[in-house]
């Protein structure tokens, strides 16, 4: 058993694909029409190349309620590891990304939190040596 | 842009207010005043946080609700258009088609003719209740060995879906 696929709920799949590729820099992996929605996954160019993140529609009201509540409580629903947190925060800020938590040290990591414009807060973390 | 806790809370509050589609709808300026942010800042910060302007957000919510009602109810497209807060059927149809790729009347015909496709994406799509009930009934019939029910038998059960 392996973890090769994880997912995140988004309020608009096309907007999400644009943000996760154009802004964050992930690579589009799959984009398959499924009824009125799409099965969209992205991968990271920094690897692992076979681990996909699916951008799933939040059309179910239960999903949207969960997503809104987590957002309003300031809780990130996913975390991505970066090599240089300060540089990533600067790069994303220059692209207009909103951070709700500036870089801070928390135990064994440095972390920051941003909004993905699709209804989620995402944490970036950099392990500290 | 760094949004401190207080600013973040205000924009979340504004989103909540925008999501209240029933009753009189405040203007964007009134909303900005309510959450104590200048209108220009409000629109810019809201868009940076949520990916759409406050006005676009409200339109999207109205269209989403209309889509749900079109699938779940049998009232006319015009009645649903009015209920979700549009005053013109023409602009409602145009905006609906822009968001969902087809006009409301076409969407309704297609969704009401569609058979149930099992799978997580269908569940996420908020398909009408009667489809779930039909799926449950079918599952029961399947396990009890009764294969005689037509896959389109739910057409006759539509009075359960109201």
In 3D space, the residue among A62, A11, A20, A71 whose CA is nearest the CA of residue A41 turns out to be A20
Scanning every residue of chain B, which has its alpha carbon at the shortest distance from the alpha carbon of A56?
B121
What is the C-alpha separation between A2 and A111, in angstroms, rounded? 27
The CATH number of A5-127 is: 3.10.180.10
Residues A39, B121 contacting (CB under 8 angstroms): yes
Domain boundaries, chain A: 5-127
pLDDT tens sequence for chain B (162 residues): 899 989 999 999 999 999 988 878 889 999 999 999 999 999 999 999 999 999 999 999 999 999 999 988 889 999 999 999 998 999 999 999 999 889 999 999 888 877 555 445 555 555 544 444 555 555 555 544 444 444 444 444 434 433
Query: Which residues in chain A touch residue B8, judged by CB atoms under 8 angstroms apart?
Result: 74, 100
In 3D space, the residue among A80, A84, A115 whose CA is nearest the CA of residue A97 turns out to be A115
Q: What is the pLDDT of residue A35?
A: 81
Q: What is the pLDDT of residue B162?
A: 34
Below-70 pLDDT ranges, chain A:
none
Among partner residues A37, A60, A115, which is closest to B49 by beta-carbon distance? A115
Q: Does B1 touch chain A (CB under 8 A)?
A: yes
Q: Does B124 touch chain A (CB under 8 A)?
A: yes
Long-range contacts made by residues A59-64, C-beta under 8 angstroms, separation at least 24? A59/B64, A59/B124, A59/B125, A59/B126, A60/B123, A60/B124, A60/B125, A60/B126, A61/B126, A63/A9, A63/B124, A64/A9, A64/A11, A64/A119
How many Å from the N-terminal Cα to the C-terminal Cα in chain B? 47
ipTM: 0.91
Among partner residues A56, A97, A119, which is closest to B124 by beta-carbon distance? A56
Structure tokens at B99: 């968001």
Among partner residues A57, A61, A117, which is closest to B51 by beta-carbon distance? A117
What is the DSSP-derived secondary structure letter of residue A128? -
Strands A52-57 and A5-10: parallel
Among partner residues A15, A98, A118, which is closest to B3 by beta-carbon distance? A98
Interface of A with B (CB under 8 A): 11-12, 15, 19, 34-37, 39, 56-61, 63, 71-72, 74, 93, 96-100, 102, 115, 117-119
In 3D space, the residue among A52, A87, A84, A73 whose CA is nearest the CA of residue A120 turns out to be A73
Q: What is the pLDDT of residue B116?
A: 52
Q: What is the pLDDT of residue B137?
A: 56
CB count within 10 Å of CB A88 equals: 20
Structure tokens at A52: 């996909």
Scanning every residue of chain A, which has its alpha carbon at the shortest distance from the alpha carbon of B68?
A59
CB count within 10 Å of CB A42 equals: 22
Q: Do B2 and A36 touch (CB under 8 A)?
A: no
Q: What is the pLDDT of residue B25?
A: 85
């Amino acid at each position: 058993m392996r973890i090769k696929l994880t997912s995140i709920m988004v309020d608009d799949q096309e907007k999400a694909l644009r943000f996760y590729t154009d802004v964050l820099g992930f690579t589009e992996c799959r984009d398959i029409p499924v009824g009125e929605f799409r099965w969209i996954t992205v991968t990271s160019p920094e690897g692992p190349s076979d681990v996909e993140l699916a951008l799933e529609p939040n059309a179910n009201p239960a999903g949207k309620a969960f997503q809104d509540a987590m957002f309003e409580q300031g809780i990130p629903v996913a975390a991505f590891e970066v090599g240089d947190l300060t540089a990533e925060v600067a790069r994303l800020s220059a692209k207009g990304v909103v951070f709700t938590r500036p870089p801070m040290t928390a135990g064994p990591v440095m972390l920051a939190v941003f909004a993905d414009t699709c209804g989620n807060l995402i944490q970036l973390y950099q392990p500290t040596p | 842009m760094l949004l401190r806790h207080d600013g973040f809370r205000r924009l979340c509050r504004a989103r909540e207010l925008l999501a209240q589609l029933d009753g009189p709808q405040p203007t964007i300026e009134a909303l900005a005043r309510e959450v104590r942010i200048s209108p220009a800042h409000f629109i810019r910060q809201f868009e940076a946080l949520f990916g759409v302007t406050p006005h676009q957000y409200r339109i999207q919510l109205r269209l989403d609700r209309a889509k749900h009602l079109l699938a779940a109810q049998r009232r006319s497209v015009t009645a649903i258009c009015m209920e979700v807060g549009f005053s013109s059927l023409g602009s409602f149809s145009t905006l609906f088609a822009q968001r969902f790729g087809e006009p409301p009347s076409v969407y309704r015909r297609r969704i009401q003719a569609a058979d149930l496709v099992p799978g997580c994406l269908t569940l996420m799509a908020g398909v009408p209740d009667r489809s779930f009930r039909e799926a449950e009934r079918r599952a029961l019939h399947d396990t009890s060995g009764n294969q005689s029910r037509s896959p389109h038998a739910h057409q006759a059960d539509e009075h359960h879906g109201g």
